[in-house]
Amino acid sequence: MKKLVVIAAATLAVSLSASLHAAEPGDPERGRALSSPCVACHQADGNSVNPEWPKIAGQHEDYLFKQLMDYKWGRRSHPLMNAQVADLTEQNMRDLAAYFASQETAPGRPSGDEQTLALGKKVYFGGNLQTGVAACVACHGPNGKGNPAALFPSVAAQHATYSLDQLHQFHDEVRHNDPSRMMRDVAGRMTEKEMEAVTQYMESLDPR
C-alpha cells in the first residue's frame, strides 16, 4: 500500500506542476494587501483561533493555491469560501497563497488524553493493516509537514476539530477534490475513534 501511495504521489507531482507554475509566481506583499477579507476567519497571520476554521499560516503555497482554485471552480464546496473567491483572479489567489505560506504556524493545543494520542500516533505511523487504512506518514511525513511537490498538505498543529471535519467529509464523499481518491479511500476505511485520535495526534505535532 505504501508503495502505491509513493508512486501516486510522484505521478501527481509531475502532472500538476505545469499548471501550478505556469503563471507569474505569487507575491507575498500583494497577498498581504488582498488579505483583509480573510482576517475574520483566519486572522491576519493565518492562525485561526476558531478550531472549526483551518490554520493556513505556513501551509504549502501550491497547496493553498490549489484549494482556492478548487473553491473557485466548484471542485470543493463551502458557501463562504466559494463566495470569497468568486471575484479573485488566478494571480490574486497565487498572491494570497504566497502571503499565508510565508507566515509561521502557531503550535497546536490538542485536548486528547495520553491514550487517545497513543492511538493517533499508532494510526499515523502504522495505519491499520486489518482494515486497509494507509499510514498517514506515507504522504504527510514523520513530522506532519506534508509533501509540497505532491500537494500533500502540512497537518502539523492543525486544529483537530477542522481536520476531523475534513476526514468526515472525505469519508462521506462530500469532499472530493483529492486526486485519485486518495483521502476518500483512506478515510472511508477509518473508524470514528481512529479519526478522532489521529487528528488529535496531528495537532500535537510541532509545526516548526
Residue % of the chain over a pLDDT of 90: 88
pTM: 0.89
CATH topology of domain 114-204: Cytochrome Bc1 Complex; Chain D, domain 2 (1.10.760)
Q: Are 108 and 158 in contact (CB under 8 A)?
A: yes
* Rounded CA separation 158/156 (Å): 6
Q: Are 62 and 151 in contact (CB under 8 A)?
A: yes
Give 111-160 pLDDT, tens digit per residue: 999 999 999 999 999 999 999 999 999 999 999 999 999 999 999 999 99
Q: Write the DSSP symbol of residue 180.
A: G
Q: What are phi and psi of 92, to 5 degrees?
A: -55, -45
Is the pLDDT assigned to residue 18 strictly greater than 90? no
Q: Return binding residues.
A: 38, 41-42, 81, 136, 139-140, 183
Give 176-206 pLDDT, tens digit per residue: 999 999 999 999 999 999 999 999 999 999 9
CATH topology of domain 20-101: Cytochrome Bc1 Complex; Chain D, domain 2 (1.10.760)
Q: Would you say the C-alpha torsion 117, 118, 122, 128 has a positive or negative sign?
A: negative
Domain 20-101 and domain 114-204, same fold? Reply is yes
**pLDDT bracket for residue 22 (50, 70, 90):** low
Q: Return binding residues for heme c.
A: 38, 41-42, 81, 136, 139-140, 183
Identify the pLDDT of residue 21: 52
For residue 62, the number of C-alpha atoms closer than 13 Å in the C-beta half-sphere is 17
Question: Structural domain boundaries of the chain?
Answer: 20-101, 114-204
Identify the pLDDT of residue 14: 47
* Rounded CA separation 179/200 (Å): 25
